[in-house]
Amino acid sequence: MTATERIIKICEFLKSSRCKNVATFDLTENGEPKFFVVASATNPDENKKVADELCKKFQLDGERDGYHKGEWIILCFSNIYVHLFTLAARSRYNLDRLYKSKEIDLAKFLKKKKSK
């Protein structure tokens, strides 16, 4: 599975699960692909459930951080970093504002990749 296919599948999974406000950011530098996916759940327990399902479904091959508290869980799938926040933590840390200029529309991104 390519990185593009993987990021789309991860976002589809998050949208079909208990997550809200799924956003994707392209932080590629010097030709090295790097993506952030940010999503929210209502509470730490929901975040943990989503993280567990995501790790199982996509065979986590990297690090998992913040799981113990569950307010901000970071999962590393090679070059895709998934940030699972509670609604309050997402508002507090506001990664969406920090990376706003790097946000991508996955449908347009996929179309652009296919045309290359």
37-94: pLDDT as tens digits: 999 999 999 999 999 999 999 887 667 899 999 999 999 988 899 999 999 999 999 9
- Predicted confidence at residue 29, as pLDDT, reads 87
Rounded mean pLDDT, 8-15: 92
DSSP assigned state of 100: G
CA–CA gap between residue 17 and residue 41 (Å, rounded): 9
Q: Which domains does the chain have, with CATH numbers?
A: 3-105 (3.30.460.10)
Contact at 8 Å (CB) between 5 and 104?
no
CA–CA gap between residue 60 and residue 26 (Å, rounded): 20
Q: List b or e across 94-112, with b for residues whose CB sees 16 or more CB atoms inside 10 angstroms.
A: eebeebeeeeeebeebeee
The neighbouring-strand residues paired with 76 are 81
Q: What is the rounded average pLDDT for all residues in the chain?
A: 88
Rounded mean pLDDT, 23-46: 92
- Predicted confidence at residue 4, as pLDDT, reads 78
DSSP string, 1-43: --HHHHHHHHHHHHHHTT-EEEEEEE--BTTB--EEEEEEESS
Name the token pair of 84. 């699972």
Name the token pair of 15. 């949208």
pLDDT at 114 over 60: no
pLDDT at 107 over 80: no
- Predicted confidence at residue 5, as pLDDT, reads 83
Rounded mean pLDDT, 10-32: 91
pLDDT band at 18 (very low <50, low <70, confident <90, very high): confident
